[in-house]
A and B are shown apart, each in its own frame.
Chain A
């Protein structure tokens, strides 16, 4: 019986039927509660907190966090100006890593309204002034002068006599002035530009008429000078957003003056006409310079106005610029411009435009022209583009806007990619080089025939080193090294976000996709009548500007 009982016991002894699920250890969890994705924050130390379960440790951007009894963790991260990815990374009891990444934008922000003071600073050094005056000198052509003079004739009228009787009356018209190519020079000095120049081979064809003691006469009069030397002072001021050039202390001196008045009665020649005509010619040249040169300089300087309508990433962009200040030092002319950028389609979003520092740019004093563009300006443009949803992309294989090969790594042949930026891209300086940063770029990939799954929502943060080049009159930000930070937020791929993230990082040609955005480019001023040659775009040492140097040449 004992054996029978034992056997019965054995047969009845089956395993515990407790459902397996009850034995399952809870899966480790990690959440990041603060900061939330796409937060706008101040730069500097900020608290970070979240929750965890069954993790050995939690690190916040690599620094061990304090975990409370309930799994809540807290720590701190120091945000630099620009985009940061706040990452909480936990190590599970099994040795697996869990991580959560939230992209944030840190810094000071200002409303995207009004002009940005000193958004651009332009310096015209001696070489540039020379080119400028060369262009102005070229504008002083004889035809223009003659046209101006024709309205001034007669340039001379006088009478001489006694007891009320005019013994001699005389008048003279300048019929034509001819001269060689004027040579002007501007030399910067303390607060003014010293103007000096020469109008070579001056030829004046005049016609004089009158009567002398009842006898009428008229005759051509030829005058000449080997040159008309000009000197003066030029001041330039910014007024009401525009530049005004004022010429003062102008002096004209005819060198090598000569004449041919052989057809005139001798007494008239000797005592009246010759001396008078010389002074008159000098006065006329003086008047011509005082009137024409400032106007021409105004016109040339006005060309420095870089207000324009252009496109950024295919959308219209309006850039308005005004001159805020002009000053002259011993090396040249320094102009400050206030600028505003606006995209008509932009709507109010976020907390504003990232403000860069207010450092002074270091402008080259040797190049013909040097300029510096404040990062604020570029960030305003990027903000406007973001606010106008220019950065929102939609591509699909159905209309051909997306190449199918890009989806092959996802085991799909068709689908769509939607990109939406939750934060504006910004340009900041990292290690002395410009970098375009963007976070919370939400990439939704739909692959209806995907073998792995049909939907992915990925939060992308990109840190793109940009090279500054000059192309077709624009400053182009060429993409260089790209550092990407991904976090799959949602998927129907059946795996954890960490696993899908790791796979996507490995498989998806995101850099290629990023390249679809194309290089950013910004127009640089096209100065009327002048062309920029040998443009070099560099990062200003001050850390807040993009610098540029160029040679100026008179446009052909």
Chain B
């Protein structure tokens, strides 16, 4: 297995990774996890606290795509999701500073085998926004703490998928006064497909966070945080591999050849723009005994901001100066791909208790509602109502070191889509709005994710 960071299906609604820092992460966190979850928590601890986690994650989604052009397909991925965070008071009481790296936004997968029915949505892809986080907070008498942070996002967007050429070809043929003779049943013929292979496009972004931590009583803690969203424009290269209509399709073949598209390989520049949401989350933490901690938490992620992929391909003429101008125009025509996410709430209950001085056990149940409506669900937009059961065992081999092992299983609710907003048609008047003019996503989707968290916490 090649160890790739962030190579995983979404761990929560849409692109979200709600399991930042695994079971150590929560709005009430005061260790290195606080740098993401709530910078006010940075000021609620003493000394220097370091958290490192690597989480091998195994995900699979089985898709039974409905006709037309249906069939069984599977998207799989495995990888390691990382997190590292540090909090310190620098010896100043009430002060808290933190640094961290993590991947708060993740999605990825690979068709197994490649070329199945969902190839027009996803052959292989990986979206990951890695964040370098810094934050600080200050507490007043350990009762109230305020914190703030910034996250420098280094976002990467990579995808390989097929694009249907037949409707464009049909338009060209009709423009010549000829009848192409295609029907919708002919769509998704591999001979009319273009494989787009976006190199990892990259973008820089900046988000900020604010946090509040209230500890009115040693047994009760309240936490609230807000993290801003960002709009990212990813840029990089794209390779285009065109198929070639069969010779029996005289007009199509001629059209493709005369446009320089037949079996052509091209390079270009690509830009993918989309928005990441802002979010709020909070928790109530109870410590009924010295050894037991119960935290009820929840949040709302404003995924409504993630409504669209804006796709631009440029630089075709520069890389392929021999191409006809109208071919360049065709390829460089800006496109959009609807995401139509909706705000997604989540809730969780986390319980941790020390059995012995050096042994800690924890459990968490979390429910995260899907942010992607049925109508726009695709293999590359997979999301589901997610119930996560997690367990944690942590031990202290030394006084300042705690090693943890966690396991989470995501019970992803089956989704059945029968009214996909996406559709394609040969006849222009039957085509939907451009953002939905992509192969349909009707079918059933079933998935499961297993996550193993290996963590180490240091208290210096």
A residues at B contact (CB < 8 Å): 2-4, 6-7, 9-11, 13-15, 17, 19-21, 23-24, 27, 94-97, 411, 451-453, 493-496, 498-500, 502-503, 506
Contact = CB atoms under 8 A, between A and B. Distances in A.
Name the residue in B197, B202, B253, B254 with the highest tally of chain A Cβ atoms < 10 Å from its Cβ. B254
Contact of B101 (A3, A23, A95, A499): A3
Contacts of B128: 10
Contacts of B202: 11
A80 to B, nearest CB: 29
Contact of B257 (A15, A20, A495): A495
Q: Which label, helix, strand, loop or mixed, suits the secondary structure of the B interface?
A: strand
Nearest to A502: B250
B239 interface: yes
Contacts of B5: 6-7, 9-10
A20 B177 contact: no
Given A3-B54, A7-B130, A96-B247, A19 B82 contact: no
Contacts of A494: 257-260, 324
A453 B202 CA distance: 41
Interface stretch (B11-19, B261-269, B378-386, B412-420): B261-269
Nearest to A411: B176
A9 B130 CA distance: 12
B84 A3 contact: yes
A95 B253 CA distance: 13
B267 A499 contact: no
Nearest to B82: A3
B250 A15 contact: no
Contact of B199 (A6, A15, A19): A15
B257 A496 contact: yes
Given A2-B52, A3-B54, A499-B254, A20 B265 contact: yes
Contacts of A21: 265
Contacts of A7: 5, 82, 101, 130
B146 interface: no
B80 A6 contact: yes
Given A21-B265, A451-B176, A4 B101 contact: yes
B254 A500 contact: yes
A411 B6 contact: no
B258 A3 contact: no
Name the residue in B5, B246, B267 with the highest tally of chain A Cβ atoms < 10 Å from its Cβ. B5
Given A7-B5, A10-B4, A502 B154 contact: no
A506 to B, nearest CB: 5
Interface string B118-147: 000000000010100000000000000000
Contacts of A96: 244, 246-247
Contacts of A498: 247
A17 B200 CA distance: 11
A339 to B, nearest CB: 48
Contacts of B83: 3
Given A10-B130, A500-B254, 12 more contacts: A3-B54, A6-B3, A9-B5, A11-B130, A14-B199, A19-B267, A27-B263, A495-B253, A495-B262, A499-B247, A499-B253, A499-B257
A506 B267 CA distance: 34
Name the residue in B52, B82, B260 with the highest tally of chain A Cβ atoms < 10 Å from its Cβ. B82
Name the residue in A6, A411, A493, A498 with the highest tally of chain B Cβ atoms < 10 Å from its Cβ. A6
Interface string B132-168: 0000000000000000000000101010000000000
Nearest to B199: A15
Interface in B351-376: none
Nearest to B264: A24
A4 B154 CA distance: 13
B153 to A, nearest CB: 12
Nearest to A22: B265
Contact of B266 (A10, A20, A94, A451): A20
Contacts of B177: 411
B176 A10 contact: no
Contact of B258 (A2, A23, A452, A502): A452
Given A3-B101, A503-B254, A20 B82 contact: no
27 contacts: A2-B54, A3-B54, A6-B3, A6-B82, A7-B5, A7-B82, A7-B130, A9-B5, A11-B130, A13-B4, A14-B199, A15-B158, A15-B197, A21-B265, A23-B265, A27-B263, A94-B244, A95-B246, A451-B176, A452-B176, A452-B258, A493-B254, A495-B262, A499-B247, A499-B258, A503-B254, A506-B250
A105 to B, nearest CB: 30
B251 interface: yes
Contacts of A4: 84, 101
